[in-house]
Structure formats: C-alpha cells, structure tokens
Amino acid sequence: MSEVFLDIIQLAKIFKALSNDKRLYLFSEIATRQELNFEDNACVVSNLMGLLKLSPPTISHHLKELTNAGLIFTEKKGKFLIARTNKETLRALEEYVSSLLNG
C-alpha cells in the first residue's frame, strides 16, 4: 500500500489537470522522456517546446497546473527548466484505479 493517500479533492485536481489534451500530452512526454545529462531522469522542458507548438507562457501554465495537481516537480538547473514526475502520486493513483478495477 502506498504511503500517499489521495483524497477526493486531490483526485479531482489530478483528473482535471489531465483532462486537457495538450496538458495530458505534455505530462506523457515528461513521464516518458529521460534526459541523460541530468540526474533523476528529468526532462528538459525546452526540448518539448517544438513538439507542442505552444507559446512558452501556455506551456508554463500547463506545467503549473500539473505541478498544482501533484503530478510533476519542476526545477531550474542552470539555464534549463527540468521536470520530472511525482512517483509517489503516480503510485497512489495507480492504487486508486486498481481498487476500482478489483473492488
């Protein structure tokens, strides 16, 4: 059992954050990309700019929504903004969905 418990409010924030197609795509890219030149297998956000075809302020807004939902962490490393998934939140979300399937 995960040490992180997701209450209804947190679940609503997560599902709301992922309900936007561009934000879901951004989250999926962050989750699957691993930049070898940074520890923690973080994703360099500037490398995603061309994929999304969105303005930097729009991407920043989407990153803020994903962060507020607890799905990602962002951090400045020199001139780069890096993002990585919040593994604890993802494990707790996995347990929640699993309980729906098995319960």
CATH number of residue 73's parent domain:
1.10.10.10
What pTM was computed for the model? 0.85
The answer to whether residue 19 sits within a structural domain is yes
The answer to whether residue 59 sits within a structural domain is yes
List, for residues 71-101, the tens digit of each pLDDT value.
999 999 888 898 999 999 999 999 999 988 9
Look-up: residue for tokens 């990585």? 84
The answer to whether residue 16 sits within a structural domain is yes
Q: Residue 40 belongs to what domain range?
A: 8-102
pLDDT band at 1 (very low <50, low <70, confident <90, very high): very low
Q: Is 103 or 48 the better-scoring residue by pLDDT? A: 48
Is 48:26 a contact under the CB 8 Å cutoff? yes
Question: For the chain, how many structural domains are there in total?
Answer: 1
Mean pLDDT to the nearest integer, 21-33:
92
Is 73:84 a contact under the CB 8 Å cutoff? yes
Is the pLDDT at 16 greater than 70, yes or no?
Answer: yes
The answer to whether residue 1 sits within a structural domain is no
